[in-house]
Amino acid sequence: MILIADCGSTKINWCLLKDNEKIAQIFTTGMNALLMTEDEMAQRIADELMPNLQGYRVDEIHYYGAGIINDNIKQQVVNALKRNIATATTITVDSDLLAAARALCQREPGVACIIGTGSNSCYYDGEKIVDNVSPLGYILGDEGSGAVLGKMLVGDVLKKQLPGHLCKEFLAEYKLDRNAIIERVYRKPAANTFLAQFAPFIIKHVNEPSIHALVLRAFTDFFRRNVANYNGYQKLPCNFVGSIAMLLKDVLVEAARPLGITVGHIVKDPMEGLVKFHSTK
């Protein structure tokens, strides 16, 4: 049996395959391998995953996750998995960006992008990632992401760049004022997730001209500052995984068109594509 993991910081989607057919799907608490020790990851797998694997013999594991930035971290994840699933003779650990590339492009060349809370992109040659423009995080980069859209929205509200009724509605809906926002962004941790929580407001009001312009500007920045750096980007499909890309896909396509970029697949999460990839070797 093959076990595939799509791991984020919030949740892990595990999918168990037998003879290329999905036989179980399990959701557990997320793990960021950059922020956790091997022992912590092993314990979480033992507590949350293993009770759901009783009666199954796993021979092969393909784990894609947040925080996989070097070989040392990869090995820690491998060790945490081995400590729990001794029957697995093959264990691969790769980044969430490679998961997106394989899910979206399978074994064909293309540009693969993630637009969710954060954003990222790569040029994929059908086998491996050969180029990646660093996303740089929501302060220096992450163009088009939920965190950056939220940052732009809050800035426009506080500087009165949006129509008055939208500013009032936003502050009332989230029970915020200027001081509360400043306190939360500058004095408390995880400002990116705080800002990203405002994406539903943007999605709800995307047909308002001022909100539409904000989203269009953010997505145009994403294409210009990331995708346009890949050689031959106008000749390859540009594919997306992530909730923001899916829910704002019309504006995404609108931003791509003037730059000669063809938007290909847009999916909310990579699991179905990963199942297909690992079922068609």
For the chain, give the percent of residues with pLDDT over 90. Answer: 85
Q: What pLDDT does residue 42 have?
A: 96
Categorize the per-residue pLDDT at 13 as very low, low, confident or very high, splitting at 50, 70 and 90: very high
Please say whether the beta carbons of 114 and 246 come within 8 A. no
Token look-up 């809050």 returns 154
Q: What residues does 129 pair with on adjacent strands? A: 124
Q: What own/partner pairs with CB < 8 Å and gap ≥ 24 does 245-248 have?
A: 245/113, 245/115, 245/116, 247/199, 247/203, 248/202, 248/203, 248/206, 248/215, 248/219
In this chain, the answer to whether the domains covering 2-88 and 103-269 adopt an identical fold is yes
Instruction: Provide mean pLDDT across the span 244-271.
Output: 96
For the cut 80, the answer to whether the pLDDT of residue 254 exceeds it is yes
CA–CA gap between residue 122 and residue 111 (Å, rounded): 6
Q: What pLDDT does residue 156 have?
A: 97
Q: What pLDDT does residue 281 have?
A: 66
Question: Which CATH number is associated with domain 103-269?
Answer: 3.30.420.40
Does the domain at residues 2-88 carry the CATH identifier 3.30.420.40? yes
Per-domain residue ranges for the chain?
2-88, 103-269
Q: State the CB neighbour count (10 A cutoff) for residue 217.
A: 16
CA–CA gap between residue 254 and residue 252 (Å, rounded): 5
Token look-up 């049996």 returns 1
The answer for residues whose C-beta is within 8 angstroms of residue 127's C-beta and 6 or more apart is: 107
Q: What pLDDT does residue 9 have?
A: 73
pLDDT digit string (tens) for 60-82? 999 999 788 899 999 999 999 99
Whether the predicted model's global pTM rises above the 0.75 cut: yes
